[in-house]
A and B are shown apart, each in its own frame.
Chain A
Amino acid sequence: MNEPRASNRTQAETIAAILAGEIQLFHELIRPHERTVYLMALSYMKNEADAEDVAQESFVRAFRKLNSFRAEAKFSTWLISITLNEARTRLRRKTLVPMDSLDAPPDEDQPVSPALLRDWREIPSEAVERGEIRLLLQEAIACLPDIYRRVFVLRDVEEMNIHETAEALNISIPSVKVRLYRARMMLQKRLAPQLKTAIRTSKRRWFPWS
């Protein structure tokens, strides 16, 4: 993920300026990260209202402890760890579920079989403009086991690299790779047939002569 610059300053300069008292710059600093933080919060909380709450709280917390941010880390991954902590604390308060079970890996030894197809006709990005296609994609991602979804969201939805994903989630690089492989195969298995059908039926609906 590119770390966009806040106006002409580098991110490090912006952070230094905030710590030196130009606190209004915090608005600019966080703007590029709103979606990632929200999606990570959503991957824990499972509903929009709680996810928004956690996201807000995480940004406020990030502001309060900005002086503990170390330049060696990336701001985005630092922000995500704060978000994960905040979400876990909430869930612990809410459900009294032991945290182990929330992060426990499902059976990782079983291979995931993909959907077998003989040919694949590329589905163009414009398809995403259609609500039903967006819904298919959202539901498929929502149905992934939690620990796979978090890796998938950071790596493939937010397009962070493998190292950043490992750092943000505090897991090893091999774990990122295995979980990503499983998430991608599960999505292919579910989505490939669904997308094929959705595109085929909609074509018939749009162009009755074809």
Chain B
Amino acid sequence: MVIECRHVWNYISEYLDGTLSQETRTVVQKHLEHCEICSAILDSTRNVIILTADDRVFELPVGFSERLHARIDAELREER
């Protein structure tokens, strides 16, 4: 079975998660082997996911934890 590029794009996300059926995965893989555009889309999508998962991208506001735990302390004192 041969599929077109735009169908492959629909599968890229699940391909990366490894949740495609064996059959679909094989078809997608075959396509990726000879299509440089789709492989570049796959690689760049994977790269974007790796970068956004980096803890340094989103940091808590300065002093967030201190203020949070102070607030929790106030709550715990009331509990007593």
Contact = CB atoms under 8 A, between A and B. Distances in A.
A31 B6 CA distance: 43
| Chain A interface size range | 35 or more
Q: Which of B19, B36, B58 has the most chain A CB within a 10 Å cutoff?
A: B58
Interface string A85-100: 0000000000000000
B13 A177 contact: yes
A210 to B, nearest CB: 22
| Chain B interface size range | 35 or more
B41 A116 contact: yes
A111 B58 contact: no
A180 B17 CA distance: 11
7 contacts: A23-B76, A48-B61, A55-B64, A111-B10, A123-B51, A129-B56, A184-B45
Interface of B: 6, 9-10, 12-14, 16-17, 19, 36-37, 40-41, 43-45, 47-54, 56-58, 60-61, 64-65, 67-69, 71-72, 75-76, 79
